[in-house]
């Protein structure tokens, strides 16, 4: 921090300004990227849809909690699907338990309808987006996760390469340097939380044969947590090229082989 000259300290404002000017002349001053209006509007839709889904998940968890309080267990793969709803209607709940479950199911239905509306608007906006279509060819990446990547990343060419995108997404480890020794810590978790979530979600659903083989190899040496993050970086690398080029050559080569 600068010190006032009348206190006997050194005032560094001029020196700081000179240093910044030197960095600017050498093109080494980091620049902030301001998303254009269309990207900000898409983000608004994608983030709001994500909030609707999060709220809906909370209501579903409350239904399970009420059933647990009542000592009831419904054997259904999807409690909120057609079969699960039919079993819920036959469940012997009474009084406040029944009233709460009925209210929660009504709210879930409302959120289902609202989520479908916003998912449709997002799909309409991205209908002609080449990168959006391309990254859906990646195993584990469907329309919803692809929309998150497109909206949150924006113009992918602002990154010099996939390493920059992975760093921006907070999927790279922290570096601690002391003299000639460098230690790597946990990932930075900076940047978009939605991009990190979408990347990890995708590799846990399904992934490419190459990434799956790498996961097995790395897990034997480093453990599951490090393996998961390494796989997420590899997937985000493919997302980078898919958004940049409008297709993913790595998948084309795998298919040709």
Decide which of 98, 125, 152 is a domain's last residue: 125
Are 211 and 138 contained in the same domain?
Answer: yes
**Placement of tokens 């602002």 in the chain:** 158
More confident residue, 81 or 184: 81
Which has more pLDDT, 150 or 203?
A: 150
Q: Has residue 12 been placed in a domain?
A: no
Cβ–Cβ under 8 Å, residues 149 and 239: yes
pLDDT of residue 33: 80
Same domain, 52 and 139: no
For residue 3, pLDDT over 60 is answered with no
Whether residue 257 is predicted with pLDDT greater than 80 in this model: the reply is no
Token pair for 253: 């080569």
153 phi and psi angles, rounded to 5 deg: -75, -40
Which of residues 15 and 100 earns the better pLDDT score? 100
Q: How many residues does the chain have?
A: 257
- Which pTM was predicted? 0.75
- Do 168 and 120 fall within a single domain? no
**How far is C-alpha 226 from the geometric centre of its chain's CA atoms?**
18
52 with 118: CB under 8 angstroms?
yes
Does the pLDDT of residue 46 top 90, yes or no? yes
Average pLDDT of the chain? 84
229 and 170 in a single domain? The answer is yes
Q: Is residue 208 part of a domain?
A: yes
Domain that holds residue 256: 130-257
Q: Does some domain include residue 13?
A: no
Contacts of residue 237, Cβ cutoff 8 Å, sequence gap at least 6: 162, 165, 166
Strand, helix or coil for residue 191 = coil
Q: Is there a domain that residue 221 lies in?
A: yes
Residue 232: name the closest of 201, 204, 208, 200 by CA. 200
Domain check: are 166 and 193 in the same one?
Answer: yes
Domains: count for the chain: 2
Last residue of a domain, one of 125, 150, 183: 125
**Does 190 share its domain with 105?**
no
CB 203 within 8 A of CB 228: yes
Q: Which of 83, 105, 125 is the last residue of a domain?
A: 125
Both 112 and 145 in one domain: the answer is: no
């Amino acid at each position: 921090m600068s010190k006032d000259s009348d206190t006997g300290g050194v005032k560094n404002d001029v020196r700081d300004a000179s240093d910044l000017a030197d960095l600017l002349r050498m093109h080494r001053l980091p620049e902030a990227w301001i998303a254009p209006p269309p990207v900000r509007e898409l983000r608004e839709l994608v983030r709001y849809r994500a909030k609707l889904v999060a709220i809906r998940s909370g209501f579903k968890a409350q239904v399970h909690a009420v059933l647990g309080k009542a000592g009831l267990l419904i054997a259904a793969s999807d409690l909120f699907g057609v079969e699960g709803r039919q079993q819920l209607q036959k469940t012997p709940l009474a009084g406040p338990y029944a009233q709460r479950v009925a209210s929660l199911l009504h709210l879930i239905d409302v959120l289902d309808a609202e989520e479908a509306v916003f998912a449709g608007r997002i799909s309409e906006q991205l209908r002609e987006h080449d990168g959006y279509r391309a990254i859906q060819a990646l195993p584990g990446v469907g329309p919803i996760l692809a929309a998150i990547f497109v909206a949150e990343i924006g113009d992918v060419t602002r990154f010099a390469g996939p390493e920059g995108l992975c760093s921006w997404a907070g999927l790279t480890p922290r570096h601690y340097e002391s003299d000639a020794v460098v230690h790597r810590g946990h990932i930075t978790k900076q940047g978009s939380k939605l991009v990190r979530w979408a990347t990890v979600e995708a590799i846990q659903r399904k992934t490419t044969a190459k990434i799956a083989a790498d996961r097995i190899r790395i897990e034997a040496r480093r453990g599951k947590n490090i393996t998961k993050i390494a796989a997420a970086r590899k997937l985000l690398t493919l997302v980078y090229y898919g958004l940049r080029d409008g297709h993913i050559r790595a998948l084309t080569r795998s298919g040709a082989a």
